[in-house]
């Protein structure tokens, strides 16, 4: 399969959205409900539907990222990046699942199978192997297609950064989803509620009190008052999710809420800067009225690495 993907049409730089008409608002609501139902249903139903759903989400996000890079004049190795991302996500999911099954089912006859499989897929080896071999593979690709695509090292770096920016954080979602007793959908629900609280609180406070711009050259609509409102609402939800996760100490919940309150808006700003740099308004059009999946999950990309690190440090 060819590594080439058709460039997307350049759009005007991101500007404050025009007032939505009734039909557009209806479309946003319909697709918002469908998207939320798929998201929550996949997370709740089983670890396998969770894994399949977010593996697909990650693949689409990488596709959108590489298409935007092509709109900016670069030529990253799209299929290599997406393939490496899926290997990283699937391998991380398998290792986390294997470790928990082996720990919980010591007397189960399947333990030997999982031990053997886990020995073949070590998470450190997986991540280090990709970090070492992927640049080699990307440079070989550039030599094969040269001189069809100019700036070979920039193209290779762009493909690699897409994996670091999207593939690594989304793979770490597997670490968040699994607690000491195995897969727990409530942990992902809690993360979603915190991110939504940050977004809703910032919108409401910014709309009501917003005066001081946070980053006017990147996103003119964001204000410090909005950020403060989002921070406050996220802390409140961090306290409230104790009813859903009673075993999680209040300190841990508030720390997680603080991480989301700080890094979710930064993730949104980072993606806004990305879109402005290549001159596109939305990352894609997979969800009419909502843009692309990268637009929907941009907050995850800076939140997940910090949360995963804190979870590993906290044991």
Q: Which of the residue ranges 92-106, 223-237, 270-284 has the most confident prediction, judged by mean pLDDT? A: 223-237
Residues 209-233: what's their mean pLDDT? Answer: 91
According to the model, what pLDDT value does residue 99 have?
A: 57
Q: Please, is 279 exposed, middle or buried when counting C-beta atoms within 10 Å of its C-beta (0-12, 13-18, 19+)? A: middle
Print the SS3 string covering 20-40. Answer: CCHHHHHHHHHHHHHHHHHHH
Nearest by Cα to 166 from 54, 71, 249: 54
Residues 230-252: what's their mean pLDDT? Answer: 94
Q: What is the tens place of the pLDDT at every residue in 114-147?
A: 444 444 445 666 677 777 888 899 999 999 988 8
Least trusted range by pLDDT, from 3-7, 21-25, 138-142, 299-303: 3-7
Task: Give long-range contacts, CB 8 A cutoff, 24+ apart: 135-140.
Answer: 135/160, 137/80, 138/77, 138/80
According to the model, what pLDDT value does residue 210 have?
A: 83
Alpha helices in 46-122 (DSSP H): 47-71, 78-104, 111-120
According to the model, what pLDDT value does residue 34 have?
A: 86
Share of the chain above pLDDT 70, in %: 82
**CB–CB of 152/136 below 8 Å?**
no
Residues 273-296: what's their mean pLDDT? Answer: 83
- Asked whether the predicted pLDDT for residue 254 surpasses 60, the reply is yes
The whole-model pTM stands at: 0.83
According to the model, what pLDDT value does residue 225 have?
A: 93
**CB–CB of 264/303 below 8 Å?**
yes
Compute the distance between CA of residue 289 and CA of residue 29 in angstroms, rounded to an integer.
9
pLDDT band with cut points at 50, 70 and 90 for residue 315: low
Residues 203-219: what's their mean pLDDT? Answer: 90
According to the model, what pLDDT value does residue 54 have?
A: 95
- Asked whether the predicted pLDDT for residue 108 surpasses 60, the reply is no
Query: Scanning the structure block, which residue is given the tokens 């939505």?
Result: 20
Compute the distance between CA of residue 49 and CA of residue 186 in angstroms, rounded to an integer.
15
According to the model, what pLDDT value does residue 118 have?
A: 46
Number of H helices, E strands in the chain: 12, 4
Q: Which two tokens mark 312? A: 């590993």
Residues 219-232: what's their mean pLDDT? Answer: 92
Residues 47-65: what's their mean pLDDT? Answer: 94
**CB–CB of 176/191 below 8 Å?**
yes
CB atoms within 10 A of CB 248: 17
**CB–CB of 65/298 below 8 Å?**
no
Q: What is the tens place of the pLDDT at every residue in 67-107?
A: 999 999 999 999 999 999 999 898 888 877 665 545 444 44
According to the model, what pLDDT value does residue 22 have?
A: 59
Q: What is the tens place of the pLDDT at every residue in 13-38?
A: 444 444 445 567 777 788 778 888 99
According to the model, what pLDDT value does residue 21 have?
A: 54
Residues 263-291: what's their mean pLDDT? Answer: 86
According to the model, what pLDDT value does residue 114 have?
A: 43
According to the model, what pLDDT value does residue 5 have?
A: 47
Cα–Cα distances (Å) from 45 to 104, 192, 248, in that order, read 21, 16, 22
- Asked whether the predicted pLDDT for residue 9 surpasses 50, the reply is no
Share of the chain above pLDDT 90, in %: 52
Q: Between β-strands 178-179 and 182-183, what pairing exists: parallel, antiparallel or unpaired?
A: antiparallel
According to the model, what pLDDT value does residue 10 have?
A: 43
Q: What is the tens place of the pLDDT at every residue in 149-200?
A: 889 999 999 999 999 999 999 999 998 998 777 889 999 999 999 999 999 9
């Amino acid at each position: 399969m060819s590594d080439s993907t058709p460039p997307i049409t350049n759009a005007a730089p991101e500007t404050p959205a025009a007032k939505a008409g009734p039909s557009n608002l209806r479309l946003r609501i319909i697709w918002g409900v469908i998207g939320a139902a798929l998201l929550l249903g996949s997370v709740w139903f089983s670890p396998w539907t969770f894994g399949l759903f977010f593996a697909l989400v990650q693949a689409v996000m990488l596709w959108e990222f590489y298409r935007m890079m092509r709109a900016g004049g670069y030529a990253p190795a799209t299929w290599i990046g997406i393939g490496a991302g899926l290997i990283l996500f699937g391998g991380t999911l398998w290792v986390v699942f294997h470790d928990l099954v082996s720990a919980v089912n010591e007397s189960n006859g399947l333990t030997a199978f999982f031990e053997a499989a886990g020995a073949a897929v070590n998470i450190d080896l997986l991540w280090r192997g990709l970090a070492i071999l992927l640049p080699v593979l990307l440079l070989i690709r550039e030599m094969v297609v040269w001189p069809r695509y100019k700036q070979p090292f920039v193209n290779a770096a762009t493909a690699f950064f897409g994996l670091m920016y999207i593939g690594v954080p989304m793979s770490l979602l597997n670490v968040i989803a699994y607690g000491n007793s195995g897969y727990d959908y409530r942990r992902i629900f809690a993360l979603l509620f915190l991110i939504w609280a940050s977004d809703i609180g910032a919108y409401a406070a910014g709309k009501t009190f917003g005066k001081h711009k946070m980053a006017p050259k990147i996103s003119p609509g964001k204000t410090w008052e909005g950020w403060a409102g989002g921070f406050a609402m996220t802390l409140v939800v961090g306290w409230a999710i104790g009813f859903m996760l009673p075993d999680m100490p209040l300190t841990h919940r508030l720390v997680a809420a603080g991480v989301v309150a700080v890094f979710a808006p930064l993730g949104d700003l980072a993606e806004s800067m990305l879109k402005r740099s290549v001159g596109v308004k939305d990352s894609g059009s997979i969800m009419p009225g909502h843009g692309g999946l990268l637009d929907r999950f941009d907050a995850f990309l800076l939140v997940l690495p910090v949360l995963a690190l804190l979870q590993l440090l906290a044991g």
